[in-house]
Structure 1
Amino acid sequence: MNKINWSVRFTLKNKAFMTRLALAIALPILTYFGLNFQDLTSWGAVFSLLGKFASNPYLIGLTIANVLNIVPDPTTAGFGDSKRALNYYEPHND
């Protein structure tokens, strides 16, 4: 079974993964509705967009697929992390 070190991925110290995750969620939504980040100038606009997103099964599936594409470690074969990466407690700095 392919294991993934989720605790290291979902930490604020792992800025690269957290940024990629945020963009993997936000960009399909903004693109589908033809918006830019600059269009979200009020909380009302943000909540309206989230409501439109939640009512669109195609967009939800597209966003889930986009998020799943950033999960595998591209430096290892398969979908899991390497044995070395499974032993990390925080992102490695090399």
Structure 2
Amino acid sequence: MINWKVRFKNRNWVIAFISQILIVAQMVLAGLNSMGLVDFQLTDAIQNSILTLVNAIFVLLSMLGIVQDPTTKGYGDSERALKYKDPN
């Protein structure tokens, strides 16, 4: 069984979950529109507006240090990564 309380405490998981929910919503709307069940279509203007908003949110989260490297504990770089001269 999935422990949702633990998952929602992981910021990386929450960000990925929200983005996946938005992708699924977009796919469902596109499918319903193609079947003629809804008259709502995501135009290029709407998609660009959403993309701009999501990018702005991720930039803000990155600046605050909330979006982090999931391979390291905490928000800093590992001791090994700090010693790199070139990307490994």
Q: TM-score, with normalisation over the residues of structure 2?
A: 0.34
Higher share in helix = 2
Q: TM-score, with normalisation over the residues of structure 1?
A: 0.33
Structure (1 or 2) with the larger CA radius of gyration: 2
